[in-house]
Amino acid sequence: MGGGVTLRDRERARRRAAICAGVVLVLLAIALPVATAHARTPPGFFGISDPFPAGPSAKDLRRMGRGHLGWVHTGFVWAQLEPSRGQFDWNRSDAVVGKLASEGVRTLPYIYGSPRYAASAANRPPLGSNRAREDWSAFLRAAVNRYGPGGTYWTTRYPVEHPGKRPEPVSAWQVWHEPSLSKYFHGSAAKYAKLLRISHHAIHQADPHAKVILAGLPAYAKPTAWSFLRRLYEQKRIKRSFDGVAVHPYAPTVHYQAVALKRTRRVVKRHHDGHTPIWITEVGWGSRPPKTDRFHLNKGLHGQARYLKKTFRMVLHHRRSWNVKRVFWFRWRDPTQSKCFGSIACSAGLFKASGKPKPAWGAFERFSRR
């Protein structure tokens, strides 16, 4: 029919549409995995938690740089840094913070441990007197004024020890360590809330933009992380005193890790605090033979690497729905000590005590580099 569309024309149009659709699907198949990987792994998402008693070595630092490590979570022990009231010894913290910064790695310090002039024992928070509370506040201000943006360490000692290297100021501070465990914190959620309010005020006096992170809560301790957090939220005006909820989701399976994170996130949302992110400031698996610790966290040398991948994939899958900000693997290197008191502290390292890398380091590096 003159000027009309024939059956042959329609067939050609359908073929062209099918070819175009196929090309689009191929392009999407190529592009989506890349986009998903970037969406799931923001820069600096994976870090290391380690006390670094002797500080990172030169070899450690080179490996951290090659592995694109973004953050290190480590302890600032008040009794060590201010052994006598008003007398500071910053040598160890300078070395750790400075060495890490020279490789572009940022430090998240957790500050804990009362000196004798502030409390009768290290695990007792400095709340017993006005003098103790002011001692704690003064120490926090001194630490922030030294390591925060524009701090004295970055303007005096750092340029001399690491010439030409960019400063990496401390922007987030964690108040105490595992307050649901009596060996670290002698007191209740109400007492921790009181310490948190004082700490938030002192830190913000020195740096109004600093982030204050809750102390890490072990998932399945007594009380559980979500139970302790629920009690904390019951304290008056507490939400304004922190910017992140920290969890240590140690568990015998990845499923139970996920359960702990989900329950903790549920408490955050039920208290209308959904914008506050979760920081996983410790998580790990041991490389000793399976079932050699009472918590079933040892998975063998190659099992440690497999479980690292399972844990990281699980967290990445739920990162947005649970609002997970960062993940810190415990720990960098196995210590030389042999007594671990039923924990994985002696075998969770990505490296053996000798410095030899374990299979878990290769697995970690693949996540941190992408």
pTM: 0.88
Rounded (5°) CA angle 220-322-304 = 55
Label residue 40 by pLDDT band (50, 70, 90). low
309 inside domain: yes
- 191: domain range? 43-369
> What pLDDT is recorded for position 43?
82
Residue 144 has pLDDT above 90, yes or no: yes
191, two tokens: 């007492």
Spatial distance between the Cα atoms of 12 and 34, rounded to a whole number of angstroms: 34
> What pLDDT is recorded for position 21?
44
Contact 353, 366 (CB under 8 A): no
* pLDDT, tens only, 131-142: 999 999 999 999
Q: Among the ranges 20-34, 35-49, 88-102, which has the highest mean pLDDT value?
A: 88-102
The mean per-residue pLDDT over the stretch 353-365 comes to 96
Backbone angles phi, psi at 48, to 5 degrees: -125, 140
The mean per-residue pLDDT over the stretch 313-318 comes to 97
- For residue 313, the SS3 value is helix
CATH of the domain at 84: 3.20.20.80
245 inside domain: yes
303 inside domain: yes
> What pLDDT is recorded for position 369?
85
Spatial distance between the Cα atoms of 218 and 234, rounded to a whole number of angstroms: 19
- Tally of domains within the chain: 1
* pLDDT, tens only, 212-230: 999 999 999 999 999 999 9
Residue 324 has pLDDT above 70, yes or no: yes
261 inside domain: yes
279 inside domain: yes
Spatial distance between the Cα atoms of 336 and 213, rounded to a whole number of angstroms: 30
Residue 292 has pLDDT above 90, yes or no: no
In sequence order, what E strands does the chain have? 46-49, 71-77, 106-112, 172-175, 211-213, 217-218, 245-248, 278-283, 324-330
> What pLDDT is recorded for position 11?
54
13 inside domain: no
Counting residues of the chain whose pLDDT is more than 70, the rounded percentage is: 88
30 inside domain: no
> What pLDDT is recorded for position 33?
40
3 inside domain: no
Instruction: Name the average pLDDT for the chain.
Output: 90
